[in-house]
Amino acid sequence: MDGRVAIVTGAGNGLGRAEALSLAAAGARLVLNDLPGHALDAVAAEIKAAGGEAIACPGDVGEWATGEALLAAARATYGGLDVLVNNAGVLRDRTIFNMTADEWDLVLRVHLRGHFVTTRMATAYWRALSKERGGPVYGRIVNTSSEAWLLGSAGQPNYAAAKAGIVALTVATARACARYGVRANAICPRARTTMTAELMGDAPDDVPDPMSPDRVAPLVTYLASPAGGRFTGEVFVVHSDVVALLGPPTVR
Ligand code: ADP
């Protein structure tokens, strides 16, 4: 990643943390976001201990001011921004029969508005930079959808709707930004994270966990890298290890 500057939201644990560590290991300099008090300093310390660079910039991604603060932190600390990885999320699971408007609003706000706010700040910055330089710039966005956007999830209508919206936002962003050199892709992981462990149950102790965030993070780093620039507006479904997931083959 050659010192490129990356924002990762929801980087305090789970998939976001794994993505931040993977990007840092590849040579990116990190701006880490999560809600205040969510272990960002520990993740930053982990990156620094491994010889990398990271700062914490806590805040609610649903807030316009957080988007502005993240971009400002990247510019002030590292002199610019190259990569945005949107991962912050929250669950309020309930079937459609009983879901409250507050549960709907919160999940849509953090996931979808959260993706919008940071994307708005990053793309406006990259477009202005591209106009100033008179050519394309380096800009990579990796958004976090879920397999739930297509398959639905009976206990998560709010989450599934937000994740579908993230796919649409990603494609619209890719089309609007292509001429400036900016690439936007979405991943749809089925990763065992803090968020999903409650739903999926514990992994069996006797086999390596095929759905660990460490299996998903390298794809994000690839899409954030120069080589990943060949893809834009794409949606990557990552089952992490479909063979382990589905069990031994029954065909002969
Ligand atoms: P996953 O591993 O799937 O990303 P986690 O629950 O481990 O699931 O991570 C989601 C992260 O997003 C958490 O660290 C959580 O604190 C963070 N988060 C939740 N709401 C917000 C928000 N409004 N702004 C920023 N980060 C948030």
Whether 189 lines ligand 1, by a CB cut-off of 6 Å, is no
Residues 50-76 have pLDDT tens digits of 999 999 999 999 999 999 999 999 999
Burial of 236 (0-12, 13-18, 19+ CB in 10 A): middle
Closest to 4 (Cα-Cα) out of 33, 32, 24, 34: 24
Distance 62 CA to ligand 1 centre (A): 12
Cα dihedral 241→203→197→155 (10° resolution): 80
Positive or negative torsion for Cα 43, 48, 52, 53: positive
Active site residue 159: yes
Least confident among 145-154, 170-179, 201-210, 211-220: 201-210
Q: Which of 78, 125, 138, 159 is catalytic?
A: 159
- Token pair 């590849």 is found at 26
Active site annotation includes 131: no
pLDDT at 200: 54
DSSP secondary structure string for all residues of 100-119 = -HHHHHHHHIIIIIHHHHHH
User: From CA 235, how far away is CA 238, in angstroms rounded?
Assistant: 10
- The reply to whether ligand 1 has any atom less than 6 angstroms from the CB of 62 is yes
Evaluate: CB of 13 within 6 angstroms of ligand 1.
yes
Spell out where 46-148 has E strands: 53-56, 83-86, 139-144
- Pocket lining: 90 vs ligand 1, CB cutoff 6 Å: yes
Is the pLDDT higher at 177 or at 205? 177
Q: What is the tens place of the pLDDT at every residue in 20-52? A: 999 999 999 999 999 998 899 999 999 999 999
Q: Which pTM was predicted?
A: 0.92
**Residues 29, 73, 231, 52: what is their CA dihedral angle, to the nearest 10 degrees?**
10
How far does the centroid of ligand 1 lie from the alpha carbon of residue 130, in Å?
31
Cβ neighbours of residue 187 closer than 8 Å, sequence gap 6 or more: 142, 143, 144, 145, 216, 219, 220, 223, 235, 236, 238
